[in-house]
Amino acid sequence: MKPPLSSSSSAVLRKARLSPYLFTLLAFIVFVSILYGEDFMCTLGQLEPIPGRAMSKPVKRRGKLAFAIGKGEEGCDIFSGRWVRDELTRPLYEESECPYIQPQLTCQEHGRPDKDYQKWRWQPHGCDLPSFNATLMLETLRGKRMMFVGDSLNRGQYISMICLLHKLIPDDQKSMKTHKNGSLTIFKAR
């Protein structure tokens, strides 16, 4: 049996105890430090990335780019480049020809007078990006599912992808369903 504690020693034990809120905050800080610590140190330039470990943002993309004609150049850093004007191959689709763009997002229909913003493409320094191939994308995804998770920016990218693909699919072979709250859109190509 334990001897009873004196009043001064029980007060010390009560003071040394962490409150649940403080403990949760400390646990969260430790978790974030472990999870993102190396990324923060690399960002600050104090630590070199560990070879073979994927960082939060890939530095270089090598080899074949997904859904593109041709092979990407070896060592091409697609994240380093600039926007260039391209009047020959842009735009990849016309806003008026895509029935899946929500009416409130149609710039031309709502009076935007210029179309110059549609004639720009990303050009990496020292290499060229292969062209997007919609047929290759459809063939690659045949019998599979692709999911976009995110906010309105991701939804815009999803609708843009659908606009790039919809001309290749006959009307009787595709359908699109949006739930009442607009949170989920399903595009099916049979």
pLDDT tens, position by position, 19-68: 888 878 888 887 777 766 655 554 454 444 445 444 434 334 344 556 66
pLDDT tens, position by position, 22-31: 878 888 887 7
Rounded distance, CA 114 to CA 95, Å? 13
Write phi, then psi, for 85 (nearest 5 degrees). -75, 135
What distance separates the 2 farthest-apart alpha carbons in the chain?
89
Query: pLDDT confidence of 154, banded at 50, 70, 90?
Result: confident
Structure tokens at 76: 């091409």
Rounded distance, CA 73 to CA 121, Å? 18
Is 174 strand, coil or helix?
A: strand
129 within 8 A of 86, measured Cβ to Cβ: no
Distance of CA 73 to the CA centre of its chain: 23
Q: Which residue has the tokens 């049979």?
A: 190
Is the confidence at residue 152, as pLDDT, over 50?
yes
150 conformational bin, left if phi > 0, alpha if psi -120 to 50, beta if neither: left
pLDDT tens, position by position, 162-177: 899 888 888 888 877 7
